[in-house]
């Protein structure tokens, strides 16, 4: 075989190997995850309640984020991400939980967001809603954490260091008063009995200054509604659609809350009507902007700052509560 033939054969083999590697890179999963924009979901066909009426133009939308493992190509070639953000596994799946446990928590959070939205909206509209908040129910405990030896799933935390903690934000704030390694005193209810336990705080490597006790919680509350409401969010999970659900229910029973605009909303809703921060703001805003959404409601603070960075001409309204969201929309001129 001549030198020229040998070089040609080598070049051909190199080309085949390169093509094979490229194909592999486009299908093989990396250790990173990708957060991608999704299209906003119109809520009109997803929320059903007796006595609802069609308000015509405009409409409320909830927004979410597509989460999946990034391919090797997406990990190393940023132009392939198309508005997506590359994150580590622990940004998608909480530390010390597997994917099925994390999915169960997200499903529980979605169920709670629906109930909360129904209660907040109906109470605002003047319906008699019975709400009893009893604390924060432990859904999952991080393996190997200080809490694992003392707490059980189903325990309800009602106080920290003697101070009442009926919401997740209040629980987080009370724990944050401690330094990593210090002990917190929890008051819990277990099988109807009140107990006090001392739990030492610890930290994750990724957040070495944030004190944690190693529990994942949801709101423990009983809610009695005067009418039946159906909210079908499909396979979307997590707590961040609560504000949007409540706005759509108000629209259907109270009329023109959207003022004729196409309005996207994101924010975790609490039973007292407060709107809590959420994740994935960049992708949610990008998805809403691409779909031609005119107005987007987001939690005030860092969420609002990030949202305005990607919103372009789309109007961003920062809110801290459901009532403030309704007031902000009510001050807008009617859509022409």
Q: At what angle do helices 322-330 and 242-254 cross, to 10 degrees?
A: 50
DSSP of 181-207, one letter per residue? T-EEEEEEEETTEEEEEEEE-EEETTE
Query: Taking 90 as the threshold, does the pLDDT of residue 247 lie above it?
Result: yes
Q: Which residue has the higher pLDDT, 97 or 310?
A: 310
Gap between the Cα atoms of 151 and 39, Å rounded: 40
Gap between the Cα atoms of 171 and 105, Å rounded: 18
- Look over the chain and give the mean of its residue pLDDT values, rounded to a whole number: 85
Q: What is the pTM of this model?
A: 0.81
Residue 24: the pLDDT is 46
Gap between the Cα atoms of 17 and 121, Å rounded: 60
Query: Taking 90 as the threshold, does the pLDDT of residue 305 lie above it?
Result: yes
Q: Which residue has the higher pLDDT, 104 or 304?
A: 304
Q: What is the mean pLDDT of residues 80-95?
A: 67
Q: Which two tokens stand for residue 87?
A: 């994150």
Query: Taking 70 as the threshold, does the pLDDT of residue 38 lie above it?
Result: yes
First to last CA, the chain: 79
Q: At what angle do helices 281-290 and 302-310 cross, to 10 degrees?
A: 40
Domains, the chain, ranges and CATH?
A: 37-63+97-129+225-330 (3.30.230.10), 131-221 (2.30.42.10)
Q: Which two tokens stand for residue 278?
A: 């959420």
Query: Taking 80 as the threshold, does the pLDDT of residue 90 lie above it?
Result: no
- Confidence class for position 99, pLDDT limits 50, 70, 90: confident
Q: Are 246 and 120 in contact (CB under 8 A)?
A: yes
Residue 9: the pLDDT is 55
Model pLDDT for residues 3-31, shown as the tens digit of each residue? 555 556 555 556 555 555 455 455 455 66
Q: Are 34 and 86 in contact (CB under 8 A)?
A: yes
Query: Taking 80 as the threshold, does the pLDDT of residue 209 lie above it?
Result: yes
């Amino acid at each position: 075989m001549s030198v020229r033939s040998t070089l040609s054969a080598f070049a051909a083999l190199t080309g085949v190997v390169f093509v094979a590697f490229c194909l592999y890179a486009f299908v093989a999963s990396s250790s990173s995850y990708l957060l991608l924009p999704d299209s906003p979901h119109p809520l009109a066909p997803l929320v059903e309640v007796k006595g609802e009426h069609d308000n015509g133009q405009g409409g409320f939308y909830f927004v979410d984020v597509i989460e999946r493992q990034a391919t090797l190509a997406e990990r190393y070639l940023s132009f392939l991400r198309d508005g997506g953000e590359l994150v580590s596994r622990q940004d998608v799946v909480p530390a010390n939980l597997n994917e099925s446990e994390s999915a169960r928590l997200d499903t529980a959070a979605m169920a709670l967001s629906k109930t909360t939205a129904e209660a907040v909206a109906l109470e605002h509209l003047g319906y008699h809603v019975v709400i009893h908040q009893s604390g924060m129910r432990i859904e999952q405990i991080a393996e190997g954490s200080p809490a694992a030896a003392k707490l059980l799933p189903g325990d309800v935390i009602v106080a920290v260091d003697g101070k009442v903690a009926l919401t997740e934000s209040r629980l987080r704030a009370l724990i944050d008063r401690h330094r990593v390694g210090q002990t917190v005193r929890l008051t819990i209810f277990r099988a109807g009995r009140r107990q006090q336990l001392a739990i030492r705080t610890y930290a994750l490597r990724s957040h070495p200054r944030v004190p944690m006790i190693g529990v994942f919680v949801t709101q423990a509350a009983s809610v009695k509604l005067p009418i039946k409401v159906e909210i079908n969010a499909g396979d979307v999970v997590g707590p961040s659609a609560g504000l949007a659900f409540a706005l759509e229910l108000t629209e259907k029973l109270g009329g023109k809350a959207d003022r004729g605009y196409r309005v996207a909303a994101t924010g975790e809703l609490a039973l007292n009507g407060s709107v809590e921060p959420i994740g994935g703001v960049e992708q949610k805003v990008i998805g809403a902007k691409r779909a031609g959404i005119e107005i987007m409601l987001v939690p005030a603070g860092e969420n609002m700052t990030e949202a305005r960075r990607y919103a372009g001409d789309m109007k961003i309204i920062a809110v801290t509560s459901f009532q403030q969201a309704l007031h902000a929309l009510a001050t807008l001129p009617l859509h022409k």
